[in-house]
């Protein structure tokens, strides 16, 4: 029997297909019911809708801000106009123009979406780009005819309408089916909902965002190409900052992250401009500006967001994402993770840090740590508050760059590797505050991790239970269940080494004991190496093969619980302090 969540997903899927069918029928019928003027407005709305859909791939789906997207739209429009002027075949002009737009987007994306760059970098770069393309269109007179622009003939409104509708439907369908419903769409969703969790599951957020930006530029260029004959005159304004702002308004009003939203926003603003603009003149832009501010402030999901919030429960909205998330399975199939194989152990430590130093400004926090952790070992890191335990985990996981020293995972020097690159060696991580995918169900969380799996794992029953929980969102779970889910998706991903930061924090005694039991079974049955930062001494006693005490950024002592707790310096530095 299908679970409630999967039934909801199937229903949402049916609705999507139904909506697509209605759109196709409505588009095909339009020339028979509309006179030529509304039909030309609809044609223009479709072209602008595709432009907004292109922007949505970057802004709505990947969270990449582009405030100069008309640069790509303009490149597309000029590509067609210049080709028409010089009688260049469309078969040549179209791919060359799209590749040019994608090349420019790649250069901008590589510069603006590098790890560590702030989101505003992309805003500044794309703004500069739209100004640059606008200026180039004004200055390159022999190519673009400057401010006067280039005329592009259209073959009559009905013919143009059908051409436009066909290209729009074709482009949207190809992008939807090939990109958004596949692995790329799943990664887009994962990175948008929780970038940090995704990179610790081995997903490269920069690559995903840059790909989305390049794809969005290609779609914007295609939109520019089909807009050129509809508008008739290709002028610098088509690539300029006003056009770039307008498409942001289309999308914000219609609703990001939704195909319908992009087209609805474009249609409302375009048609509104024709009818309302005639009545109130330039005040129309003022009205649009006010609507934009109101939407951003009061309805960040735009009109489609308002409607779906009314029509769908949150879990149904999560199910709507189901198209790009593989169907979760209650009992993951495939070979179980191999148990600890000491014979395989060639003596290479699972983890090694050498002379590790980390300072924040002038303040040293990690002051030269040397630590070796064997394969399959369970090491508990303890120490007083501020000793540097979390910082050490952050350094090992790649979430912080060290000031000096070396980090080796399975014998490989990963000191300068990004978190997602380290994850490819099987390095998994849990956080003090559970890092899961909040807008999705537990089953979808688990499925996302399984889809990116480092290796196939048979989960313990206490963790595999989440594969069936698809009728609530993770935000509705108790803290204990959120922690268990974070552990479940990390283990389902198939790590070799797991870094856990205070996994028992905030849990009741019973939940902590259950957690310790699960962690022990993960170590015993799956052979994972565990590095656990923990304050709860009961957990430490139950769990640790070895206890490492940190104080003031140094290893004070390392050994079994008894020897460590009888150590004078430890008593002074830690046990006396709690």
Ligand X SMILES: Nc1ncnc2c1ncn2[C@@H]1O[C@H](COP(=O)(O)OP(=O)(O)OP(=O)(O)O)[C@@H](O)[C@H]1O
List residues binding ligand X (CB under 6 A).
Answer: 360, 365, 383, 385-391
Residue 286 or 360: which CB sits closer to ligand X?
A: 360
Q: Which is nearer to ligand X, 119 or 386 (CB)?
A: 386
The answer to whether the CB of 490 falls within 8 A of the CB of 24 is no
Sign, CA dihedral 158-164-169-170, equals positive
CA distance 551 to 574: 8
Rounded distance between C-alpha atoms, residue 6 and residue 135, angstroms:
52
Q: Distance (Å, rounded) from C-alpha 126 to C-alpha 146? A: 22
Give the nearest distance from C-beta 367 to ligand X in angstroms: 11
CA distance 479 to 133: 51
Smallest distance from ligand X to CB 74, Å? 42
Tokens of 59: 């802004």
CB of 62 to ligand X, least distance (A): 26
Minimum CB distance to ligand X smaller for 237 or for 364: 364
Q: Give the nearest distance from C-beta 372 to ligand X in angstroms.
A: 20
Query: At its nearest, how many Å lie between ligand X and the CB of residue 481?
Result: 23
Nearer to ligand X, 352 or 536 (CB): 536
Question: Toward ligand X, which CB reaches closer, 150 or 380?
Answer: 380
Q: DSSP per residue over 236-270, as a string?
A: GGGGSHHHHHHHHHHHHHH-TT-HHHHHHHHHHHH
Q: At what angle do helices 119-139 and 70-85 cross, to 10 degrees?
A: 30
CB of 528 to ligand X, least distance (A): 22
Helix (H, G, I), strand (E, B) or coil at 409: strand
Taking the complex as a whole, how short is the minimal distance between the CB of residue 432 and ligand X, in angstroms?
Answer: 7
Nearer to ligand X, 253 or 387 (CB): 387
89 vs 94, 103, 170, 438, CA distance in Å? Answer: 9, 21, 21, 50
HSE-CB at 278 with a 13 A cutoff on CA atoms is 5
Strand, coil or helix: 300:
coil
Tell me whether residue 223 or residue 397 sits nearer to ligand X (CB atom).
397
Question: Tokens 């079994």 appear where?
Answer: 560
Is 559 within 8 Å of 398 (Cβ atoms)?
no
354 or 535: CB nearest ligand X: 535
- We find the least distance from the C-beta atom of residue 501 to ligand X, in angstroms, to be 8
CB burial string 486-525: b at 16+ within 10 A, e below = bbbbbbbbbbbbbbbbbbbeebeeebbbbbbebbeebbee
Give the span between the Cα atoms of 324 and 386, in whole angstroms: 42
Q: What DSSP state is assigned to residue 336?
A: P
CB of 576 to ligand X, least distance (A): 16
Q: How far is the CB of 375 from ligand X (least distance, A)?
A: 25
Nearest to 434 by CA among 368, 384, 366, 482: 482
Of 371, 387, 378, which is closest to residue 546 (Cα–Cα)? 378
- Smallest distance, ligand X to C-beta of residue 400, A: 7
> At its nearest, how many Å lie between ligand X and the CB of residue 387?
4
- Cβ nearer to ligand X, comparing 442 with 553: 553
At 151, list the tokens. Answer: 């005329």
Q: Are 301 and 294 in contact (CB under 8 A)?
A: no
Cβ atoms of 252 and 265 closer than 8 Å: yes
488 vs 530 by CB, closer to ligand X: 530
Report in angstroms how near the CB of residue 403 gets to ligand X at its nearest.
Answer: 12
- Sign of the alpha-carbon torsion through 9, 11, 12, 16: positive
CB of 390 vs ligand X, minimal distance in Å: 3
For ligand X, give the closer residue by CB, 337 or 358. 358
Nearer to ligand X (CB atom), residue 308 or residue 391: 391
Q: Which residue has the tokens 């606008």?
A: 134
Instruction: Compare residues 189 and 533 and give the one whose CB is closer to ligand X.
Output: 533
Closer residue to ligand X in complex, CB, 432/455: 432
Length of the chain: 578
Which segments of 281-388 does DSSP mark as H helices, in order? Answer: 283-298, 302-311, 314-320
Q: Which residue has the tokens 């963790």?
A: 463
Residues 6+ apart with CB under 8 A from 228: 76, 77, 80, 81, 152, 234
Determine contact, residues 218/101, Cβ cutoff 8 Å. Answer: yes
Whole-number Å distance between alpha carbons of 328 and 465: 11
**Nearest residue to 447 via CA among 179, 189, 61:** 189
């Amino acid at each position: 029997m299908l679970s409630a969540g999967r039934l909801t997903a199937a229903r949402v899927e049916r609705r999507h297909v139904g909506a697509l069918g209605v759109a196709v029928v409505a588009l095909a019928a339009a020339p028979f019911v509309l006179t030529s003027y509304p039909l030309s407005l609809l044609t223009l709305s479709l072209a602008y809708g595709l432009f907004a859909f292109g922007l949505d791939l970057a802004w709505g789906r990947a969270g990449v801000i582009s405030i100069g997207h008309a640069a790509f739209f303009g490149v597309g429009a000029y590509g067609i106009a210049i080709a028409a002027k010089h009688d260049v075949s469309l078969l040549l002009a179209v791919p060359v123009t799209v590749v040019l737009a994608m090349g420019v987007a790649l250069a901008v994306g590589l510069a603006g979406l590098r790890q560590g760059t702030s989101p505003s970098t992309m805003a500044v770069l794309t703004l500069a780009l739209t100004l640059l393309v606008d200026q180039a269109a004004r200055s390159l007179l022999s190519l673009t005819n400057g401010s006067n622009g280039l005329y592009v003939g259209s073959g009559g409104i009905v013919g143009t309408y059908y051409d436009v509708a066909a290209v729009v439907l074709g482009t949207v369908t190809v992008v939807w089916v090939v990109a958004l419903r596949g692995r790329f769409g799943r990664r887009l969703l994962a990175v948008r909902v929780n970038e940090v969790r995704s990179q610790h599951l081995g997903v490269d957020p920069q690559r995903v965002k840059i790909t989305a930006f390049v794809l969005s530029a290609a779609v914007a260029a295609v939109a520019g190409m089909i807009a050129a004959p509809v508008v008739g005159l290709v002028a610098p304004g088509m690539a300029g900052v006003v056009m770039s702002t307008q498409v942001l308004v289309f999308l914000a009003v219609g609703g990001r992250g939704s195909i319908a939203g992009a087209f609805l926003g474009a249609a409302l603003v375009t048609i509104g401009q024709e009818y309302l603009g005639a009545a109130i003149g330039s005040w129309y832009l003022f009205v649009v500006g006010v609507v934009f501010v109101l939407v951003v402030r009061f309805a960040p999901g735009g009109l489609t967001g308002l409607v779906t919030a009314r029509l769908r429960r949150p879990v149904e909205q999560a199910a709507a994402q189901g198209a790009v998330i593989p169907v979760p399975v209650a009992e993951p199939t495939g070979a179980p993770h191999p148990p600890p194989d000491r014979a395989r152990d060639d003596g290479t430590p699972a983890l090694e840090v050498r002379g590790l130093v980390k300072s924040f400004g002038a303040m040293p926090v990690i002051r030269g740590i040397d630590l070796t952790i064997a394969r399959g070992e369970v090491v508990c890191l303890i120490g007083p508050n501020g000793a540097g335990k979390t910082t050490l985990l952050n350094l090992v996981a790649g979430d912080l760059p060290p000031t000096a020293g070396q980090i080796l995972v399975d014998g490989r020097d990963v000191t300068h590797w990004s978190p997602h690159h380290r994850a490819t060696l099987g390095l998994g991580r849990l956080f003090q505050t559970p890092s899961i995918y909040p807008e999705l169900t537990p089953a979808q969380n688990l499925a996302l991790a399984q889809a990116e799996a480092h290796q196939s794992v048979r989960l313990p029953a206490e963790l595999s239970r989440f594969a069936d929980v698809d009728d609530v969102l993770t935000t509705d779970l108790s803290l204990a269940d959120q922690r268990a889910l974070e552990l479940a998706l990390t283990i389902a991903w198939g790590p070799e080494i797991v870094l856990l930061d205070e996994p028992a924090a905030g849990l009741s005694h019973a939940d902590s004991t259950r957690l310790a039991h699960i962690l022990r079974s993960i170590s015993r049955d799956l052979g994972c190496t565990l590095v656990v930062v923990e304050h709860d001494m009961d957990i430490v006693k139950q769990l640790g093969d070895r206890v490492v005490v940190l104080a003031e950024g140094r290893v004070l002592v390392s050994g079994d619980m008894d020897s460590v707790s009888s150590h004078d310096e430890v008593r002074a530095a830690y046990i006396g302090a709690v």
